[in-house]
Structure 1
Amino acid sequence: MTALAGSSTDALWAVSLRRWNAVCWVLFAAMAVGITTGAGGSRYAALALLGSVALSFAVLHRFPDNPVVRPHGYLAVLVLALGGLAYLNTSYAALFMVTLPHYWMFGRTPRISLGFLGLATAATLTCGWVRQGWSGEFFGETVVGTLIVVAVGMLIGLWVRAVVEQSTERARLIVELERTQAELSEAHQRQGAADERERMAREIHDTLAQGFASIVVLAEAARAGLVTDPARTARQLRSIESTARENLAEARELVGSGGEPRGAAAGSVADTLRRILARFAEDTGLTVEAELADLVCDQPTRIAVLRCTQESLANVRKHARASTVGVVLAQRPYGVELEVTDDGTGFVVEASAGFGLDGMRKRLAELGGRLTVTSSVGDGTRILAVLPSGGEGAA
């Protein structure tokens, strides 16, 4: 929008400048005709002065960006020509009035513009006084009229320059604002991309990575008992097949839903947890004690409960060396509460740098919940996840 506004302003300025230049050329031609038809031996000198002004203006107009062509040179020629025309007693007032904007257009600074305007005024008044003498007519018409025209030109020029400077500053501020907005938008996009990568990493860790880890553990156990316990090995192979199929379904869901997790069918989360715990007990041989309230909650809460349970069980499988695992799912007045405990070796919570616990904390925080981990070496571990009620409460 700024580029369009700037181009529109430049186009309007170019049109206005062309019109003003056309007025100047018409004035030059009219003055040349008037000087030629006038009487007196000074016509050739007046034409020479007018021609020098026209030639300087033509060169400046033809080569506006050429460093050799100086706008201040044209203004100097204009000052000398106005003084000469005033001395020759030729009508210079029209030329003076029409070329007043040139002092502001071609002066680099207001001080330079005012300086050339002052020189032009002084030159015309001085040369007119030398030619006419100090008479009442000279003072009443020439001096007063010239000073009025110059004063009005100064006021208009200063006002126009102030407006142009304000417009330039406003355009600069708009450009800076748009650049800042673009940088902020880019930063938001980068942050959004980083958040999306983190969310996808969490989903992959909580689904595919956990499934592959389970497959690896089951495969190692099946290989170890391939000769000594064929029946157990067969069960483990069935678990590997089932886990691989679930991983494949999870992968298809992640790809098909654009990374949005689905993970569980609508309904009670307790039935899904019972199947997960039964599979876990069968694969690991650990004792699982479960108290699962048959509550109904919304899909984000259901997925969070399932993922936290899967991550806690995976940690028990990989690190705890426990014999008993307890899982409690309950509806509290303040929300849904999930507690997973084990009697394993425990660990130092402050020293834990794993991705799983941090992922659980962030997942719960996105839903307004919190995670509390209590553990010490040799005393087992307690994972407590609390979520605000997102469903209809206890069934």
Structure 2
Amino acid sequence: MIQRPQPDDRFRTRTLRRWYAVSWVFLGLCPPVISALHHTGTTRYGSLALLAVIALCYTTVVAFPRNPVLRPHTFLGVLVLGFGALSLLRGDGAALFIVSLPHFWLFARSPRYSIALSGAAAAATAVGIIRHQSWHVEDFSTGNIVFTLIGYAASVLLGLGVVRIVEQSDERARRLGSELENAQSRLAEAHRLQGATEERERLAREIHDTLAQGFASIIVLAEAARSSLDTDPGRSARQLFSIENTARENLAEARALVGSALRSGPALGSVAKTLRRTLDRFAEDTGLTVTADLPDVECDQPTRIALLRCTQESLANVRKHAAASAVEIVLAPSPDGVELEITDDGQGFVVEDSHGFGLNGMRNRLAELGGELTVTSSLGDGTRVLAVIPTNSQV
């Protein structure tokens, strides 16, 4: 994985380069220019011309880094020749060479090129100084040559140290980037698995609350129709009609599950009418007395579905387990949301001992909407189911 410099890193790099450029101009170019003005003849004009060429090449490389004519290595070659020529003319090129050493590490392709080109510049500077001083034996001094060689050696050591630090930083960045990518991959996989698990749980709950309950109702109605087929044909016909309607509803529910029907947005129809149809079917199929208080409460689609599923599950439990004779259902708005209460006069049960999928499914469904399910029951005293869904799930 290739690590690209971050915006902050690029900004810091540009800032450092600008500061070095300013320092190089004032500490590297200006002193030789001022010194050249005190000379005459060839030394003055030759020095000023060489410094102008070096400054022009640097400006071109910085302003046009992709210039096909003057590339960074060409500029470094100009520096090598320029240092040699200036040293030959003046005999004091060590200072400019030392101040210019960072150029060889900023513009060279690799540390190897940096060492080679800066070494060539050091050699050209030293040779120029020696040649110049050989012409002026009275001024011969090894000071500039020593400073040139010391500067070159120090730049090599410092440059290699900085390169090593940068390589270690890049390696750490690559390692951290790889670890981050792995963590992101694991997180994405965890989200995918969590989403798949939640979808399986949702489908299982929907199948239990719709298709499974419908099939259970069809079985009960079919058994009753068969037992009364000879003694009460009219009742058997009504039960067969209920079987047909239940099967049609199951088919519609199955298509909705396969097609991932909308589960948000405005409710499609009145929740009171939807619950009333469910209660009428239940009363017709079971013969139980059903009392309902169902005002027209407005709510969104998820709330409507949750209220319908809680009603269907509660009535299915009454049919299968309660042995009740009457059921009462009350739907009402409350200061905190919508309340649905379903009670029966059946045999009841111990709530703490019940671990069925139906009650847990209702609790999970309401919890997704921020609601709560309360089940109150005891043996011989019937059962009360209270579902509360908060206002933030309403329109």
Tell me the secondary structure at the aligned position of residue 295 of structure 1. Answer: coil
How many residue pairs are counted as aligned between the two chains?
273
Asked if 2 retains the 8 angstrom alpha-carbon contact of 1:346 and 1:378, the reply is yes
Asked if 2 retains the 8 angstrom alpha-carbon contact of 1:269 and 1:295, the reply is yes
User: CA–CA distance in 2 between the matches of 1:217 and 1:298?
Assistant: 33
Deviations 1:8-33 (A, max 9, x none): xxxxxxxxxxx99xx9xxxxxxxxxx
Aligned to 2:214: 211
Q: Find out whether 1:335 has 2:337 as its counterpart.
A: yes
Aligned to 2:295: 293
Letter of the 2:341 partner, please give it. E
User: CA–CA distance in 2 between the matches of 1:292 and 1:340?
Assistant: 12
Aligned to 1:9: none
Letter of the 1:251 partner, please give it. A
Aligned to 2:246: 243
Q: Find out whether 1:252 has 2:255 as its counterpart.
A: yes
Shift of 1:194: 0.9
User: CA–CA distance in 1 between the matches of 2:263 and 2:315?
Assistant: 20
User: CA–CA distance in 2 between the matches of 1:188 and 1:101?
Assistant: 46
Tell me the secondary structure at the aligned position of residue 269 of structure 2. Answer: coil
Q: Find out whether 1:357 has 2:359 as its counterpart.
A: yes
- Describe how 1:176-195 pairs up with structure 2 within 5 A: 176-195=179-198
User: CA–CA distance in 1 between the matches of 2:211 and 2:2?
Assistant: 50
User: CA–CA distance in 2 between the matches of 1:212 and 1:363?
Assistant: 22
Letter of the 1:310 partner, please give it. Q
Asked if 2 retains the 8 angstrom alpha-carbon contact of 1:267 and 1:296, the reply is no
Asked if 1 retains the 8 angstrom alpha-carbon contact of 2:342 and 2:385, the reply is yes
User: CA–CA distance in 2 between the matches of 1:261 and 1:204?
Assistant: 15
User: CA–CA distance in 1 between the matches of 2:250 and 2:297?
Assistant: 27
User: CA–CA distance in 1 between the matches of 2:216 and 2:167?
Assistant: 70
Asked if 1 retains the 8 angstrom alpha-carbon contact of 2:3 and 2:170, the reply is no
User: CA–CA distance in 2 between the matches of 1:5 and 1:103?
Assistant: 23
Asked if 2 retains the 8 angstrom alpha-carbon contact of 1:346 and 1:375, the reply is yes
Shift of 1:138: 11
Q: So what's the TM-score if we normalise by structure 1?
A: 0.62
User: CA–CA distance in 2 between the matches of 1:234 and 1:391?
Assistant: 41
Question: Can you give the 5+ residue segments of structure 2 that lack an aligned partner in the other structure?
Answer: 6-71, 77-107, 116-139
Tell me the secondary structure at the aligned position of residue 187 of structure 2. Answer: helix
Asked if 2 retains the 8 angstrom alpha-carbon contact of 1:336 and 1:386, the reply is yes
Residues 152/391 of structure 1: CA separation in 2 closer, same or farther (3 Å cut)? closer
Shift of 1:270: 1.5
Shift of 1:226: 2.0
User: CA–CA distance in 2 between the matches of 1:384 and 1:270?
Assistant: 17
- Describe how 1:1-395 pairs up with structure 2 within 5 A: 2-3=1-2, 101=111, 145-256=148-259, 258=260, 260=262, 266-389=268-391, 390-391=393-394
Deviations 1:29-74 (A, max 9, x none): xxxxxxxxxxxxxxxxxxxxxxxxxxxxxxxxxxxxxxxxxxxxxx
The sequence identity of aligned pairs, in percent, is: 63
